[in-house]
A and B are shown apart, each in its own frame.
Chain A
Amino acid sequence: MIYAGIDAGSRSIKAVLFDTGRSQILASGLTDQGVEQERLAAELFEKLLRDADVDRTQVSGVVATGYGRNAIRFADTTITEITCHARGVHRLAPDARTVIEIGGQDSKVIALEAGGRVRDFAMNDRCAAGTGRFLEMVATRLDMNWEKLSALAQQSTKPAIISNMCVVFAETEIIGLLADGKPLSDVVAGVQNSIATRVSALAGRFVSPPVYFTGGVALQAGMARALEEALAFPVRVAPQPQFTGALGAAVLAGERNKADK
């Protein structure tokens, strides 16, 4: 049976069509977030149906997750992104015991039991310093796109120390570092370290290996390394990290349907 998961995040909307019988992702895609998020999500969903050559009537359930989940009214139900990311990562990496998700607006540390059930979680949604928003601010300030920022971070030889834990003040600090001639690559790597430090503080004592890193920020080269250093644990990037929330939503749609029957 085919199920859909829609992850309406703060920066982008992600969607996955999942065939539970074949345990296979049929299609996945993302689009930038906007004011009319339900329309954007519906258009993305329709595109995925076309890509997979699936008729809407063949989709047995739709679960929405993410910050904007309640706005996706064509979904059958909503489930939080904590539960969905946990389930999505577990589907792709069943050995995962800790999931770190850094999104555009918040970050989460999720402890998993064997079987993928959430044992505990911690979430930062009050401060941009531990989220992808910090990297976005730097990209805007340096007038470069996300991919170039990622490539730049890999060239760093001596990451800068960003002492301010507030994005607003850190921006001023970054301007000062650049004015002092600090290499761009070191500034970007310094920002990555700063985010990783915030996330590791959030994780506290409940991190246990294997640790998987997911969410759009996981695609940034250098972030996993920064997290490894901050956590003092090996960190693996989850397969298709930007889609684990949507995948988890689709998987849970299937499980709920099965449970209802």
Chain B
Amino acid sequence: MNAPPPRKLSLDEWTIRYEQLRRDGLHEPVYGGPLRRHVIREKDFRLEQLRFDNSPAALRLWNFLLTENERLRQARADGDKIVGTMKDLGTVPVMAYALPGVRAFYPDGAWWTPCLMEGSDKLLQQAEALGIDASFCPVRAMLPAFVNGEHFPKPDLLICSTGAVCDDFSAIAQRLEHLGHPILWWEMPRRRQPASGETACALPGNLTAPKIQVDCVRAELQRVGQALGELAGKTLDDHCLAAGIRAANQVRQLLAALRETVYSAPAAPLPALEMLVAEMFALHFCSDRGESIAVLGGLLDEVQTRIRQNQCVIGADAVRVFWVNPVADLRAMNLLEELGGRICGSDYMFTHALDLIPENLPPLEALARAALADPMVGPTADRAARIIRECQAGRAEAIVISRIPGASHCAREGEIIREIARREIGIPVIELEIPPVCDALLPALGSRLQALMEMLKAKRLK
């Protein structure tokens, strides 16, 4: 039977589509099933407001994403060690997965939970009771998630970077430690250009840093590696780590191919929402590295097929938008497309986790360089330079910066990116603040995005 053309489906439509796929002999992994069950079992009510790509590959993506809690608990039951890692965004998991029987995840990924559950879980209110109020970023949702133990198993080891990180995140993590969850801290210096006479090291993403900084991060990662080795009962040696880096690079290569294929296509073959979720896999493989490769491979096959067949999910006349920062409420990604936009590039704040980790360097050195390329630890101007390059590659007509309420990095980045984008490529930049559940703000968000679309379409006519 021929597959239906690409389109976006509501949850109810997906239920019907799922039954059809089952009748047609859909093969599913162990975590498969209808999307509706996540609303029923996990109370992820937000799924009812979202619109999803209609491909089996997208179904697998969503099911994989939404079963991470189950997967981690099963791993714990099977005797695996669970590592909660925070703030490094993509570095420590490479080390953890290099060891057999160890899985890493990001507890601060719980910041999406209030949105997925439309706030019914009260995590944000409970965070306030635990001493972290609404002036902090929604990452504070992880605090009560640690207390109630419902959204992830309690980790065997907690690791968090400090130093050049979000101020508010650091405060939340320190509060977590004071609540009785010991943390192994490691220090990340603020990246700077090598001074005259200093030895420079090339970092992924066309960046450089002084060798002294790379040495500092390498020494810190060595300490992290020792702790991970002790947890696993096996030394994290260079051989082991090099294999872990190669496997992580396999995920990153797939993601790079997916991004390139989707963002450069004249008409978008995959919606922005599924791309955002897929890019998140770069961080910690959604707690199963092997399966994340299979999920991403399936998505890549799907988009390549669609492009070959001249099919798309968003028309070629859509306004090409480069999106900066992940959204607290996933509904915003749908909204952009409903109003006539499409994503042609993204910087979800972890671009260093998308770049390949050098395989021609000693493994710890390579990881230290990758970690130092984190956009959060360097000047926003560095981040803006990458955004400009990718805007040009993706022929972006505008940049949308979605602000995360309370996130300290948001204080200055918008203005800097706006100024550099205007100067270098002359495209408009708008900032939108997107709270965890943006329903009340949808008319206002919609107005801004619609005005942007009107402005850019008028510019095309000119």
A is bound by B: yes
A binding-site residues for B, Cβ under 8 Å: 67, 70, 79-83, 106, 115, 117-123, 125-126, 204-205
Distance between Cα atoms of A106 and B430 in the complex (Å): 16
List residues of chain A with CB within 8 A of the CB of B428.
119-120
Question: Which of A70, A120, A122 has the largest number of chain B CB atoms within 10 A?
Answer: A120
- Closest CB pairs A-B (n = 10): A82-B451, A80-B451, A125-B444, A118-B455, A83-B454, A80-B450, A120-B428, A80-B447, A117-B458, A123-B448
Other A-B pairs beyond A79-B454, A80-B447, 10, CB < 8 Å: A81-B447, A82-B455, A115-B462, A117-B458, A118-B451, A119-B455, A121-B455, A122-B430, A123-B444, A126-B433
Query: Are B450 and A118 within 8 A (Cβ)?
Result: no
Alpha-carbon gap, A83 to B454, bound state (A): 7
- Tell whether, in the assembled complex, residue B450 and residue A117 are in contact, meaning their CB atoms are under 8 Å apart: no
Give the one of A106, A115, A126 with max B CB within 10 A: A126
On whether the beta carbons of A123 and B447 are closer than 8 Å, the reply is yes
Query: Which residues from chain B sit less than 8 Å from chain A, CB to CB?
Result: 415, 419, 428, 430, 433, 441, 443-444, 447-448, 450-451, 454-455, 458-459, 462
Q: List 20 A-B contacts (CB under 8 A).
A: A70-B443, A79-B454, A80-B450, A81-B451, A82-B451, A82-B454, A83-B458, A115-B462, A117-B455, A117-B462, A118-B451, A120-B428, A122-B430, A123-B447, A125-B441, A125-B447, A126-B441, A126-B444, A204-B415, A205-B419
User: A205 — which chain B residues lie within 8 A by C-beta?
Assistant: 419
Residues of A within 8 A of B462 (CB): 115, 117
- For A67, give its contact among B433, B441, B443 (CB under 8 Å): B443
Give the distance to chain B from A71, nearest Cβ to Cβ, in Å: 10
CA distance A207 to B459 in the complex (A): 20
Q: Chain B binding site: helix, strand, loop or mixed by DSSP?
A: helix
B444 touches A121 (CB 8 A): no
- The verdict on A117 contacting B444 (CB below 8 Å), with A80-B450, A83-B454 known, is no
Inter-chain contacts of B455 with A (CB < 8 A): 82-83, 117-121
Bound-complex Cα distance A120 to B399 (A):
12
Q: How far apart are the CA atoms of A81 and B447 in the complex, in Å?
A: 8
Complex contact B454–A106 (CB within 8 A): no
Residues in chain A near residue B430, CB distance under 8 A: 121-122
- Closest Cβ of chain A: how far from B167's Cβ, in Å? 21
Given contacts A67-B443, A106-B444, whether A121 and B451 have CB atoms under 8 Å apart is: yes
CA distance A80 to B452 in the complex (A): 9
A83 to B451, CA, bound (A): 7
Residues of A contacting B415 in the complex (Cβ-Cβ under 8 angstroms):
204
Q: How far is the CA of A82 from the CA of B444 in the complex (A)?
A: 12
Cβ contacts under 8 Å, B447 to chain A: 67, 80-82, 123, 125
- In the assembled complex, the Cα of A118 lies from the Cα of B433 at a distance in Å of 22
Which residues of the partner chain A approach B448 to less than 8 Å between Cβ atoms? 123
**Given the complex, which residues of A lie within 8 Å of B444, measured CB to CB?**
106, 123, 125-126
In whole angstroms, how far apart are the Cα atoms of A126 and B433 in the complex?
A: 9
**A121 proximity list for chain B (CB < 8 A):** 430, 451, 455
Which A residues lie within 8 Å of B443 (CB)? 67, 70
- Whole-angstrom distance between the Cβ of B448 and the nearest chain A Cβ: 6
CB distance from B428 to the nearest CB of A (A): 5
Closest to B462 in A: A117
Task: List residues of chain A with CB within 8 A of the CB of B433.
Answer: 126
Assembled-state Cα–Cα distance A117/B455 (Å): 7
Give the residues in chain A near B451, CB-CB below 8 Å: 80-83, 118, 121, 123
